[in-house]
Amino acid sequence: MGKSKKKRARTSPNDIDNTSVYDVLNCDDIMHEILLRVPPSTLSKLIIVSKRWLSVVCNSSFRRCYLTQWGQEFRHLGFFVCNFLYLGRPRNGVCRPSWEPALPFLSTCKEGDDFMRSGILKKLGYFIDSCNGVILSGVHPKIYYVYHTMAKQRYQLPVPQQFYKTLCMALIVEEYLEGDICYKVIRAKCESKLRERNTVSIETYSSKTGKWKQTTLMCSTSFALVPRTVGMVVGGVVHWLAIWGKLVIYDPRLGDRNVALVKLPAGVLSQEHEESVLGESSDGLLQYGQSNNLGLEIWVLEKETGVGPSTYSNCTHLKYKWILRWRLNFKAIWKQIPTFSLYFKETQILSFLPQNSTSVFIRVGWNIFQCDLETKTAEVVNYQGRGASISWESSKVVPYFLPAWPHSSSVSVQNGT
């Protein structure tokens, strides 16, 4: 008798391919590695494919890996205007006219228009600072709000324990492990009388504890902070402008109460400067820019060799040096725009763009331009708002950016309401 042969089920190559693709698309680890290789312009389109893909992209671990590889991109919504005559004014100070909003906003796009019409700006008081889409606002010295635009959540901070007649502030925003956004708000006392002091009183609010904590910072030499300013936070480290041409560096991550004091660069073209701004470069360094009626100069602050920008180390034990990156004469810009060539002496540096080393905002009167430092060209920034009615001498005009990153409804501001 012949041996009976068992028929073997034949598997189609298409079935194997379909099974493999199905397994890949349902494995988060594999999708994580695939999406890391997708450029930002394409990634924003893939999140509408499925909720799973959106969940992978919005995961805090994936976000950190992706931003390390590709860098953070931002969307420009407009400019906030803060008038120092009203913010923290004394009882006999200048009163804000009823027709003037407490928080003016100059919109530059449709998203900015929608933000302005949402009504939230009427509930925030005066603008103080912003970071990663989170806005710090309020009325000195007792009322402060933190508003997360993407999550549309507002939180009112408890009343501070310390009274500071004049102060400067700082806002630190970081991503919490569970995906929540946590933050710290720092109030620093500014002495009204210029005395020889090597200490400064600060009060820090943490969204993790929900409380204010008072601390006294110390320095080896005398210093005094510039009032009515905000600190520039780079890598969790706060940088405040100080009088007598100095910069104060404070790292709150270590719990150390000592601060470093660094002399600001003098400059050649802008030695007698009228405006100065702080920002963050594309390579994660502190940027300092200053301008006068001739032009502008920009430096970055570098640490000693061998210390990375994210290394936790006592800022007082480090050596710093200023590296000049840009020197630009305003005449070189306005030669290409004859309409403003006669007004080059009125040009001022306005602010940096976030994590950008090649562009700055400058202004002539109420006209705002984005200046490309490499090509020495300027492009007008069109905005909606009463630019002509702004008191530019007593106001701070700050660009407002949102991180260009998909946002899940599950992500919220910690302690938000």
Nearest one of 162, 190, 174, 283 to 236, comparing CA atoms? 174
Q: Is the pLDDT of residue 206 over 80?
A: yes
- At position 204, the amino acid (one-letter code) is T
In terms of phi and psi (left: phi > 0; alpha: psi -120 to 50; beta: otherwise), the region of 255 is left
pLDDT of residue 97: 75
Q: For tokens 């002539």, what's the residue?
A: 364
The total of other beta-carbon atoms located within 10 Å of residue 318's CB is: 15
- At position 128, the amino acid (one-letter code) is I
The total of other beta-carbon atoms located within 10 Å of residue 21's CB is: 10
Largest CA distance in the chain: 116
HSE-up (13 A, CA, CB side) for residue 80: 22
Query: Which tens digits make up the pLDDT trace of 130-168?
Result: 998 899 999 888 899 999 998 889 999 999 999 998 899
Top-ranked range on mean pLDDT: pick from 65-79, 244-258, 368-382 = 368-382
Mean pLDDT of all residues in 282-308 = 88
- How far apart, in whole angstroms, are the C-alpha atoms of residue 235 and residue 114? 31
Query: Which tens digits make up the pLDDT trace of 213-255?
Result: 999 999 989 999 999 899 999 999 999 999 989 999 999 987 7
pLDDT of residue 69: 79
pLDDT of residue 310: 42
Q: What is the DSSP letter of 226?
A: P
pLDDT of residue 23: 65
Alpha-helical runs (H) found in 47-188: 51-58, 60-70, 110-117
Which percentage of the chain shows pLDDT scores above 70? 81
Least confident of 260-269, 288-297, 359-368, 403-412: 403-412
pLDDT of residue 181: 80
Mean pLDDT of all residues in 182-204 = 88
CA dihedral sign, ordered 15, 16, 20, 21: negative
Query: Which tens digits make up the pLDDT trace of 169-178?
Result: 999 998 654 5
The total of other beta-carbon atoms located within 10 Å of residue 195's CB is: 8
Confidence bin at 342 (pLDDT 50/70/90): low
Q: Is the pLDDT of residue 408 over 70?
A: no
- At position 302, the amino acid (one-letter code) is E
Q: Is the pLDDT of residue 84 over 80?
A: no
pLDDT of residue 326: 97
Query: Which tens digits make up the pLDDT trace of 25-68?
Result: 677 778 888 888 888 778 777 777 777 777 788 777 787 788 77
3-class SS string, 72-99? CCEEEEEEEEEECCCCCCCCCCCCCCCC
Which percentage of the chain shows pLDDT scores above 90? 48
Residue of higher predicted confidence among 6 and 398: 398
pTM for the full model? 0.83
